[in-house]
Amino acid sequence: MLIEAPYKVGDTVSIKLSSGEEVVARLEAESGDKITVVKPLMLVVQQQGMGLAPYMFTVKHDNKFTLNMQNIICVAKTEKDMASQYIEKTTGLTVN
């Protein structure tokens, strides 16, 4: 049986914050009490369904962000379709 790690550095991950927000980002690093991500986008509801919007509007979109684990409920590898949408939104590349 192949055992796969839930996520690793470089993966697109979904992060549920204690504030209720859901963030999709690329995992840069993880230590005991902090997690560092790049290009975080927030999950938003649009007329066409779920979409992604900037997590913070007043900073460069490709900054690294360090989040405290005490403010995070859970972290998981992002589902394939949403990860593809994230990659398209952050790089302009279409993933098939």
Q: Which of 57, 52, 58, 59 is nearest to 25 (CA)?
A: 52
- Which of the four pLDDT bands, split at 50, 70 and 90, describes residue 4? low
CATH number for the segment(s) 12-91: 2.30.30.100
Q: Is the pLDDT of residue 94 over 70?
A: yes
Residue 3 tokens read as 């055992």
Whole-number pLDDT of residue 2? 60
The domain spans of the chain are 12-91
CA dist 61 and 20 (Å) reads: 21
DSSP label at residue 95: P
pLDDT tens readout for residues 64-85: 999 999 999 999 999 999 999 9
Whole-number pLDDT of residue 91? 87
Q: Is the pLDDT of residue 96 over 80?
A: no
